Structure 1
Amino acid sequence: MLAIEALKKRLQTSPEIVVQLESGHLENVTFRFQEPASRKELHAFSEHKGWVLPPDYKAFLERHNGAMLFTHPRNGGGMELLSTERIFLANNAYDVLPDFAYPVGYANFQF
């Protein structure tokens, strides 16, 4: 959470941050954090299939129920940390996961 709070503080100065890609090119990227998950949402998440939230991910959801990281301003993409609702949707879309497992994010870089 310290890294996220430091990033959010940095974003107060500028909505975009310059990152260096593997190719050496520099690109501007943005970040967007969702509002906190409610206690009701967190309870429903745990009750849905008996899923257990790791303490660090639960702490994240209590502050931000999902986030988009490293999104290119024109091309989109980036990395999504899923909200409780998006975890349900992703889990239902993929039958390959065992019942005790669920996705927490995915990456789709389009630089």
Structure 2
Amino acid sequence: MQTIDSLKKRLHQNKLVVQREDGYVEEEIINFYPSASERELKKLPDYTPKELISFLKQHNGADLFVHPENGGGTHLFSIDEILEYKKTWECPDFFIPIGTGLDGIWIVCQCDKDTGKNSMWIGEFLNYEDEFEKLSMDYTIWLERFIIAQGSSFWEWLR
């Protein structure tokens, strides 16, 4: 993924100077984990988006935009965590947990097995029945915009 490669080039000892809302500027930590093995990748459901598989082949999880003292940030799941949270969060078929974000938000990808398309869902303690935030973008666009927005919840900016 070009976006991730570009981000990694900007890092200095796994840190990046980030500017957030209200003028907050801080050096934040970004960690990408080693790649997943083919054996691990075979554990994923057959409807897993190819873009997510591509990410996991490169990095089996990541911690993005973590404050060095206050923590927080966004955690993108490893394959084992995806499988664990799929059960814990009681994800219906064709939903794959991607990670957790600021204030404990859940980040989930809904997959369409027939078309191969996917869409992102963001919310607190999703129950897949009530109204919560379905974003009109797929995993690749969400991840690219998230990195461009330097870890901010960009989907909330127009509310």
Q: Equivalent residues in 2 for 1:35-50 (5 A)?
A: 35-46=34-45
Cα RMSD over matched residues?
Answer: 1.5
Which digits, 9 at most, give the CA deviation of each residue in 1:41-65, with x for residues without a partner?
A: 111123xxxx422111111100100
Query: 1:10: which partner in 2?
Result: 10
Q: Does 1:74 align with 2:73?
A: no
For residues 14-29 of structure 1, the aligned pairs below 5 Å read 14-29=13-28
Counterpart CA distance in 1 for 2:102 and 2:25 is 18
Residue in structure 1 matched with residue 84 of structure 2 by the alignment? 89
Partners of 1:56 and 1:100 in 2: CA distance: 15
Query: Unaligned stretches of 5+ in structure 2?
Result: 104-159
Normalised by the size of structure 1, how large is the TM-score?
0.83
The TM-score with structure 2 as length reference comes to: 0.60
In 2, Cα distance between equivalents of 1:5 and 1:103: 23
- Aligned residue pairs total 103
| Alpha-carbon distance, 1:84 to partner | 0.7
Structure 1 position 108, deviation (Å)? 2.1
> Once the 2 structures are TM-superposed, how far is the Cα of residue 90 of structure 1 from its aligned partner?
1.2
Matches of 2:60 and 2:14 in 1, distance apart? Answer: 20
- Which structure's relative contact order is higher, taking Cα pairs within 8 Å and 6+ residues apart? 1
Aligned to 1:68, the other structure's residue is in SS state strand
Cross-structure match for 1:65: 60
Amino acid at match of 1:94: W
